[in-house]
Amino acid sequence: SARQVNIAIIGAGGVGKCFLSQLESLAARRQNQKLVLTYIATSKKAVYSDSYSPIALDSVVSTLSSSSQAPLALPKLVDYLAASGTKTVLVDNTSSQDIADAYPSFLRRGISIVTPNKKAFSGSYKLWQDIFAAKEEGGSLLYHEASCGAGLPVISTIKDLVETGDEVTKIEGVFSGTMSFLFNSFAPTSGSGGGKWSAEVAKAKELGYTEPDPRDDLNGLDVARKLTILARYAGLEVESPTSFPVQSLIPKQLESVASGDEFLARLPEFDAEMEEVKAEAQKEGKVVRFVGSIDVASKQVKVGLEKFDLSHPIAALKGSDNIISFYTKRYGSNPLIIQGAGAGGDVTAMGVTSDLLKVLAQL
């Protein structure tokens, strides 16, 4: 008979909803394992029962929205899941730091985790160490492919490179779909057609490529978090995403304006500065891009604007794609390059679902 694996999910937003539909189809196809959803929560609501009765996957979104149950506090949730006596996988589809901080408690109790949430792996170095120690102790499994590059195989690639004994010397890339879109439009390789910087930011926001307040993309922190994760896998003990240089594209004077809308309204005052940056690159026959890089030998991690020849793969990126180049001893001077959509519900959920498959294969 099929062995049962319990699934608990936190978060049912853009990624969470896409994941639920992928889980429904996976559960229907799975032959040797019975996947049972026993807990699901958002920040406001939850669905679960003391008897761990299966929550129907085909109607879970409406069951959740009409539920009057409140989410369990995290220590209670750990106890609830651990007490089931059945192998359990927690899927964290939030961006919550509190949940990330609780990973060690789940992992230590044998609960495996898959997640697109960056917070656990890009927070303090102590949390990173606690997480991997707790995983060893609890014999649990942990995958977070979608925390860097959404569905692109970035984390699995760096792990494979390192674990097979290759030596990563440098990682360089465009790690933000928003920044990719902004610079591909603002400074196209064709040399013409790029609009004013503030207009490009406004357009990106209209098209839904930015956070509600574009400053949350322009401050570079999201890219810094992804670099922190990759640098740690490359062997660097990066203390936090603020422990290395990160260039913010928010003008100092606009850092503290009250709203995203006021920020956008005043951004044109700074168009001349960005125009200068673009012209300076043009003079050298280059284009400017917002990149993150890790130099392993010199232990240098940095995020910010850099100039690239028009023929460089980073310059030639399209739309809102990400690109990540791994320079290693084995690959020599021609890096291993991963490129494609680095955001979006379906591709991000695919990263989570493929992680779940890896866990299921080992349970």
The reply to whether 324 sits near ligand NAD by the rule CB under 6 A is no
Q: How far is the CB of 38 from ligand NAD (least distance, A)?
A: 16
In terms of CB distance, is 33 or 96 closer to ligand NAD? 96
In the list 7, 40, 41, 360, the residue contacting ligand NAD (rule: CB under 6 A) is 41
Which residues in the 273-292 window bind ligand NAD by CB under 6 A?
Answer: none
Residue 116 carries which side chain, given as an amino acid letter?
Answer: P
Q: How far apart are CA 289 and CA 63, in angstroms?
A: 45
Angle between helices 177-186 and 197-206 (to 10 degrees): 130
Using CB under 6 A, which of the segments 52-60, 179-187, 190-198, 337-345 binds ligand NAD? 337-345
Q: How many residues interact with ligand NAD (rule CB under 6 A)?
A: 26
Binding piece for ligand NAD, criterion CB under 6 A, among 6-14, 48-56, 78-86, 292-300: 6-14
Rg (C-alpha) for the chain, rounded Å, is 22
Clarify whether 226 is annotated catalytic: yes
- Count Cβ atoms within 10 A of the Cβ of residue 94 and give its class: 0-12 exposed, 13-18 middle, 19 or more buried: buried
Angle between helices 14-29 and 345-362 (to 10 degrees): 40
Tell me which of 150, 218, 234, 350 binds ligand NAD, using CB under 6 A: 150
Q: Is 117 in the site for ligand NAD (CB under 6 A)?
A: yes
**Given 118, 135, 226, 307, the catalytic residue:** 226
The Cα 105–Cα 103 span in angstroms is 5
Cα dist. 343→107, 137, 157, 209, 346 in Å?
A: 27, 33, 18, 9, 9
Residue least distant from ligand NAD (Cβ): 13
Taking the least distance from each CB to ligand NAD, the nearer of 150 and 227 is: 150
As a whole number of angstroms, the distance between CA 1 and CA 3 comes to: 6
Question: In the bound complex, what is the minimum distance in angstroms from residue 152's beta carbon to ligand NAD?
Answer: 10
Supply the minimum distance, in Å, between the C-beta of residue 264 and ligand NAD: 21
Nearest to 152 by CA among 321, 334, 278, 328: 321
When the beta carbons of 13 and 54 are compared against ligand NAD, the nearer one is 13
Given candidates 6, 36, 116, 157, which one binds ligand NAD under the rule CB under 6 A?
A: 116
Q: Can residue 50 be called a binding residue for ligand NAD (CB under 6 A)?
A: no
* Three-state DSSP string of 242-255: CCCCECCCCCHHHC
Burial string for 126-165 (b: 16+ CB within 10 Å, else e) reads ebbebbeebbeebebbbbbbbbbbbbbbbbebbeebeeee
15 lies in the site for ligand NAD, by CB under 6 A: yes
If we measure between CA atoms, which residue out of 171, 125, 168, 117 comes closest to residue 144?
117
Which of 90, 187, 343, 356 forms a contact with ligand NAD (CB under 6 A)? 343
Say whether residue 178 binds ligand NAD (CB under 6 A): no
Of 38, 42, 184, 339, the residue at the interface with ligand NAD (CB under 6 A) is 42
Q: Which residues bind ligand NAD (CB under 6 A)?
A: 10-16, 41-43, 71, 93-96, 98-99, 116-118, 146, 150, 343-345, 348
Could you give the residue numbers annotated as active site? 226
